[in-house]
Amino acid sequence: MPRLAQLQSRIRSLQELGDVVGALRAVSAARVQQAHAVLESIRQYTEVIHEALAEALRALPPPPNPSDPSPSAGLIIAFGSEHGFVGGFNDRVLDVAAAQRQPGDDLIIVGTRADLVGRERHESVAWSCAMSSQVAGIDEVSLRLMERISLASGHRRIDRVTLVYMRVANGPAARAITETLLPFDVKSVPRAGTLRPKAIFNLTAPVLLDGLVEELLFAQLAHAATESFASENTARLAAMQAATDNVTTKLDDLARIERELRQEEITTELLDVVTGAEAVTEVG
């Protein structure tokens, strides 16, 4: 009987664990859907900025090439996970960031759990910040990163800023993406067609171009953060699905053992009854 009671207690614990895992899986699935909806909005926003830049470049002279001879350096911004249960998600991001890093480059890690993994790997982390746990907080993360880039540029010339993040392709698999944030080449922006009416500008060329480029950089940061957010939750969804399958298998095994113990208990009781009846018959 004690063995059966212990088994039933373990079954209840596994069922409670299954409920927790199921809740985490549902939350992760909802966040993945939210992130994909936001990604479409960011793509549309980026297209509008590209069109504005094309209009500006059609009417305004291109900015001169920088000629600052001061020593330059780079920033690597690695977008990792804020929470756990994501398997090797953070290690994959940090591996790619380490491969992209050049001597003198500073590493910025986005995500509390990713930062912890990075320090466990003895990575030299210049700065880190938390990754948003909600889609609505991604804009704030992007603004903090822009402030950090601006602050770093105030101490020394930053000529390279590289983003490293995970992107979900098809299915649960994700791949690491490396994207150049800076230097930004305005010449790479396609110019607007000549048939469109000429735009009217009320700002000077430097102010207009600086503002549009700043908006585009913000959009790129938000896009990378959102892709990483979706990938993090996709990785957690896959981990929770695997945990659900494992819990289901364990519960099936324990249920089988429980039935065997119950049958054994019933058999023992029947034997006791038969033995008692035989004893009474012999006495009579």
Q: How far is CA 248 from the centre of its chain?
A: 27
CA distance 31 to 29: 5
Tens digits of per-residue pLDDT, 61-102?
A: 655 665 555 556 899 999 999 999 999 999 999 999 999 999
What's the pLDDT at 202?
78
| Residues above pLDDT 70, as percent of the chain | 84
In terms of pTM, does the model score above 0.85?
A: no
The span from the CA of 128 to the CA of 257, in Å, is 50
User: What is the length of the chain?
Assistant: 284
Chain-centre distance of CA 123, in angstroms? 20
Residue 280 is predicted with a pLDDT of 67
Q: 178: helix, coil or strand?
A: strand
- Rounded average pLDDT over 217-229: 96
Over the Cα atoms of the chain, what is R_g?
A: 30
217 contact partners, CB below 8 Å, separation of at least 6: 146, 181, 182, 184
Is residue 90 within 8 A of residue 81, CB to CB? The reply is yes
What are the DSSP calls for 69-88, one per residue? -S-EEEEEEEE--SSS--TT
Looking at domain 24-187+200-239, does it have CATH number 3.40.50.10680?
Answer: no
Q: What is the pLDDT of residue 45?
A: 92
Q: Bridge-partner residues for 28, per DSSP?
A: none
Cross-sheet strand order for the sheet of 174-182:
127-129, 106-110, 72-79, 157-168, 174-182
- The pLDDT of residue 199 is 63
Tens-place pLDDT, residues 135-181 = 999 999 999 999 999 988 877 788 899 999 999 876 657 899 999 99
The pLDDT of 199-216, averaged and rounded, is 80
Asked whether the beta carbons of 89 and 109 are under 8 A apart, the reply is no
pLDDT at position 52, please?
A: 83
Residue 188 pLDDT > 70, yes or no? Answer: no
Longest dimension (CA), the chain: 119
Rounded to whole angstroms, the Cα distance separating 96 from 218 reads 22
Helix (H, G, I), strand (E, B) or coil at 208: helix
Rounded distance between C-alpha atoms, residue 271 and residue 89, angstroms? 58
Grouping H, G, I as helix, E, B as strand and the rest as coil, residue 132 is: coil
Angle at 49 between CA 44 and CA 53, to 5 degrees: 145
Number of helical H runs and strand E runs in the chain = 5, 5
Q: How confident is the model at residue 51 (pLDDT cuts 50, 70, 90)?
A: confident
Task: Report d(CA 54, CA 38) in Å as an integer.
Answer: 24
- The vertex-79 CA angle with 109 and 119, nearest 5°, equals 35
Domain positions in the chain = 24-187+200-239
Mean pLDDT of 19-34: 93
Distances 237 to 24, 25, 170 between C-alpha atoms, Å: 8, 5, 14
- What is the residue type of 216? L
